[in-house]
Structure 1
Amino acid sequence: MSIMTWFNTALGWLPEFFDGFLVTLALVAMCLPAALACGMVLVLIRLSKTAAVWVPTYFVIEFLRNVPTFLLILVVYYGAPLLGSRLDGIYCAAIAIAIQHTAYLAEVFRGGVSAVPATQWDAGRSIGLQPSGVFFRVVLPQAAIKVLPAIGNQIVVLIKDTSLVAGIGVVDLTLSGKLVMERTAASYEVFIVIAVFYLVLTTATSSLFHWLEVRSRKRS
């Protein structure tokens, strides 16, 4: 098959790929805000000085970080009906991916907070801020700048993890490619196009965080 013939054939697949791409984007849109918000809450608990609070949180985070993502998707997908829930596969997958990346992001945030010098806490308290005010107005902004690259990397991993939802029948970008492959018998050609879709999405995400990192350094 010549390059032009392959290219013309690939153009005919684009509508199906685009539908799957929209599902992938929807998964990212559901998982990412939930993981960021819950990760922030989890790191606040993790930083507690009370052993009865931070020790269980530590083990929960380590468990979630070390369980395979696809296994967690299967647990939520097959476990939801046992709890009386009739969630669609896309929502079960979104919950599982968000839960796991909550644990990853909590550790990223914790690393950033730990990297902020203790003198910043003292400075915040010296101007009359309460501990919560010191954390959110002094420490957290500095920590966020320090961990921007790590957050960007984790979001790229989250985007790639959405491809695992094909295993439970959610017609995302990956599964749409598999369906086209089964119908056309074009294997590597299909997945080259799929790889380009993922590459565009992950490269755009990495570039955005690189720009944010450069901008934040200039402002600081």
Structure 2
Amino acid sequence: MQTTIIYITGVYDTLDLFTQELKNAFESMGYASFTYDARLEEVSKQALIECIGDGAKKDQRFFCVTFNNLGYNLSLPAGMTGTGMLLKQDIFQSTAGSKRAGSAEEEPNLWETYNIPYINILMDHPFHYEKPLQNAPATSIVLCTDRNHVRYIRRYFKNIRYTDFLPHAGVELGSRHKPLAERGIDVLYAGALPIYTVAKMIPDLSSIPEVDGEEMAQVVLSELVHHPDRTTEDVIEEY
């Protein structure tokens, strides 16, 4: 039985790099690939639906492997539900047409309609993805790069039935690894976190008058500096 893995690209360059490495690895194992390019949404969606339809006739299996909730809310065009194209995949049962949190009516989510496991690898703290996680497909499998994030999802997102830990990996360095003793930088942060993004993450503590935001920040920071083994949310909750 052929298995096709669906990837989603065209949103973030960094995630496209991660996705390409996964694609290379899975193809070397014999899996087929389908890449959904978010920059060509309508064309990609139509091609994906046709690919799934053809695969259903051949009893093929499909999985979606993506990062940071990309494509979680892909839906079918009006009138596409109930076409008899459901895949015979028994990993999830009775998921088609489930309701979203806060939704008064059923929505034709693509992953649920075709019972396709939606493997969602989170590269950041799930706190930043409250809405997508609350509205995650019923076929979701969430993998976190931090064990604490796994506990967080299991505690606050009961709608997600499967979540587990996936440690960070990387591309093998083409040159000699520089010993730590020879490195001139103790900690190097390489990433993209613009200040306007950070500003959106800061909660409005003025809306919680019983909490002195400045005092809490100082107390929490001091505790974390002296006890770096603790997590930010644990210290805030204790405060």
Indicate the TM-score class for this superposition, using the shorter chain for normalisation: under 0.3
Name which structure has the greater RCO, CA cutoff 8 Å, separation 6+.
1
Higher share of residues assigned helix: 1
TM-score w.r.t. structure 2 length?
0.22
Higher share of residues assigned strand: 2
TM-score w.r.t. structure 1 length?
0.23
